Amino acid sequence: MRLTDVSLRALPLQAKGSKKYWDENTPGFGVRCSAKSKSFIVMFGKDRRLVTLGKYPDMSLRTARQEAKLVLAAKPRMRSLKGTRETISVFLDDANDRLRHNTLREYRRHLDKAPEKQLADITRRDIDLGDPQAIKTWKAFFNWCVRNEITDRNPFQHIPVVFGERSRVLNDDELRQVWLYDYPPYSDYLKLQILTGQRIGQWKNYTCKDQTIVFEAEGMKGKREHVIPLTDAVSKLLPVQPFNGWSNAKRRLDRHVPLEPWTIHDLRRTFSTNCAALGVPLHVTERILDHRSGTVSGVAAVYNRHTYMPEMREAFERYERRVKAIAA
């Protein structure tokens, strides 16, 4: 069939199993409809290898078709790669267009330590199995190699990746020191983190409307729009100026405000902890933090369309009074 936005929306989900529909304009590209979702797929190779590109509507039809064309066009090049180093270089070039800077930096750091071996000879003994980030990196690299028919094995496939759970929460004195740090625009972002508990990347794509802050889906982890109340304290910090050099700014902060090791994300956990201490209901805090898999999830989330805007505004106002008292 000819896949269009209209025809794609009209495709029915399946009561059992799945059904594939192939696009007549892009051979090898199609969509698979299952009981719960519609996923874009591409098929290639003599063995008719199938790769899932992403789910609709999180991925648009236009983007999926472009991705499929890139996958289909890349196969001859992939099969001509020689050696582990050249393959890693192509993998990092490909990852540069779709991964966040920090993730790409970690991938590069671990893959730069690749042994002087052919891919087929690399084993678990060649990496540090005590480093979960190293395992994650090599698993991602070999999964990419398998998808692109460079190799048919992933020696790290069944090694679990277990990261230590972070539990760092800044106490009142530490929070006061961070709040009083004055080095705009970076310190403005810190204050926004303290007051709202949002992810730092969300502030790249937001608008203020009707006393709310609307974070666009593009900047959200779950790729869905997120709305929170706009308070007077937060409005005084907006609009935030575009900013680069986060790592250098954090190192500068650590020199001026020497605390036990902590990360910017710890401010999000600190916000949640302080909300609990103030008696804010957990489901309200999770709505503020955009925790989609929290207390209101699954079927309950489908039927519960309450925005919790009044409850969130009350929580912010209570929390801001606490921050004001701490800063004083």
Residue spans of the domains in the chain: they are 5-74, 84-147, 172-327
Between 299 and 9, residue with greater pLDDT? 9
Q: How many helices (H) and strands (E) does the chain have?
A: 13, 7
Mean of the pLDDT values across residues 76-96? Answer: 75
pLDDT interval class at 315 (50, 70, 90): very high
Q: How far apart are CA 255 and CA 253, in angstroms?
A: 5
Confidence of residue 146 (pLDDT cuts 50, 70, 90): confident
pLDDT for residue 46: 64
Range in 6-10, 185-189, 305-309 the model is least confident about: 305-309
Supply φ then ψ for residue 227, to 5 degrees. Answer: -125, 130
The answer to whether domain 5-74 and domain 172-327 are alike in fold is no
Determine the pLDDT at residue 296.
Answer: 42
Region 172-327: CATH code: 1.10.443.10
Q: Are 68 and 75 in contact (CB under 8 A)?
A: no
Q: Does residue 295 sit in helix, strand or coil?
A: coil
Burial letters 175-186, b for 16+ CB under 10 A, else e: bbbbbeeeeeeb
pLDDT band, very low/low/confident/very high, at 162 (cuts 50, 70, 90)? low
Q: How high is the mean pLDDT of the chain?
A: 85
pLDDT band of residue 306 (cuts 50, 70, 90) is: low
If you compute the radius of gyration of the chain from its CA atoms, what whole number of angstroms results?
Answer: 24
At the second CATH level, the architecture of 5-74 is 2-Layer Sandwich (3.30)
Which pLDDT does position 97 carry in this prediction? 66
DSSP 229: E
